[in-house]
């Protein structure tokens, strides 16, 4: 049997045998809606609306501890579980541009190089995830030469092309002409916490009149 139970500001202790727990909904007035959950004194971690857990055995005492003291909400708990095709929790439309949009840009030097890198967004700034909205990279080539510019996402600064191997190429531009040209990609791509954005480039044979450039627009979650 499953039942819905309310918890008020400050949390709640529930003395009831249950093996299934789900945080159905919560309200914190715009603050963090997460809660910490303990079962028979064991810490089960942090939960957001829509999160749940099913234990292999029943617990007799449950403690709900809001991260923000004014959080109130509803939990569902009992023996057994409920399946649903509905989306649980808070759903955000990723094509909604908000006032949290940020930009980063860099114009590189004109010297020939086999590999160079500039950090556009530090991995440490991406604490809860990042939605990448736009990326643009480009540049000019020296006479008879070429310039390649890329924007990549990874968890640490690249030390060579596609190194570290766990990286994602966001955009690339190859230029063999002496006038500036570029590639722009618009997207709603979510990057995991701890990933940063980097401009990497190569300039071969001759120095261009202008260096490679990169621009990103993103939102931190």
**CATH 1.25.40, domain 2-78, yes or no:** no
CA dihedral sign of residues 157, 161, 163, 165: positive
Global pTM?
0.57
Q: And the tokens for 79?
A: 């023996």
What is the residue extent of each domain of the chain?
2-78, 101-220
101-220 and 2-78 share a CATH fold: yes
Residues whose CB is less than 8 angstroms from the CB of residue 20 and which lie 6 or more positions away in sequence, other chains included: 2, 52, 53, 54, 55, 76, 77, 78, 79, 80, 81
pLDDT one-digit tens code per residue, 43-99: 998 999 888 888 989 999 999 999 998 899 999 998 876 655 555 555 555 556 667
Task: Tell whether domain 101-220 is in CATH 1.20.120.
Answer: no
Tokens standing for residue 172: 């690339």
Q: Kindly report, residue by residue over 130-171, the tens digit of the pLDDT.
A: 999 999 999 899 999 999 999 999 999 998 887 888 889 999
Cα atoms in the 13 Å half-sphere on the side-chain side of 104 = 17
């Amino acid at each position: 049997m499953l039942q819905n139970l309310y918890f008020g500001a400050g949390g709640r202790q529930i003395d009831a045998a249950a093996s299934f727990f789900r945080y159905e909904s919560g309200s914190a007035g715009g603050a963090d809606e997460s809660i910490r959950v303990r079962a028979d004194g064991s810490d089960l971690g942090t939960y957001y609306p829509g999160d749940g857990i099913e234990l292999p055995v029943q617990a007799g005492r449950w403690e709900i501890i809001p991260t923000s003291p004014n959080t109130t909400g509803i939990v569902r708990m009992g023996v057994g579980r409920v399946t649903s095709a509905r989306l649980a929790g808070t759903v955000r439309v990723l094509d909604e541009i908000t006032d949290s949009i940020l930009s980063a840009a860099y114009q590189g030097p004109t010297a020939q190089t086999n590999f160079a890198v500039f950090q556009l967004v530090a991995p440490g700034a991406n604490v809860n995830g990042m939605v990448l909205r736009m990326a643009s990279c480009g540049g000019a080539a020296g006479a008879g030469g070429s310039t390649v510019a890329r924007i990549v996402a990874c968890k640490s600064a690249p030390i060579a092309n596609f190194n570290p191997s766990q990286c994602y190429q966001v955009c690339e531009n190859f230029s063999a002409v002496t006038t500036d040209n570029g590639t722009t990609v618009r997207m709603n791509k979510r990057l995991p916490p701890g990933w940063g954005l980097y401009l990497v480039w190569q300039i071969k044979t001759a120095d261009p009149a202008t260096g490679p450039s990169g621009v990103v627009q993103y939102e931190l979650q």
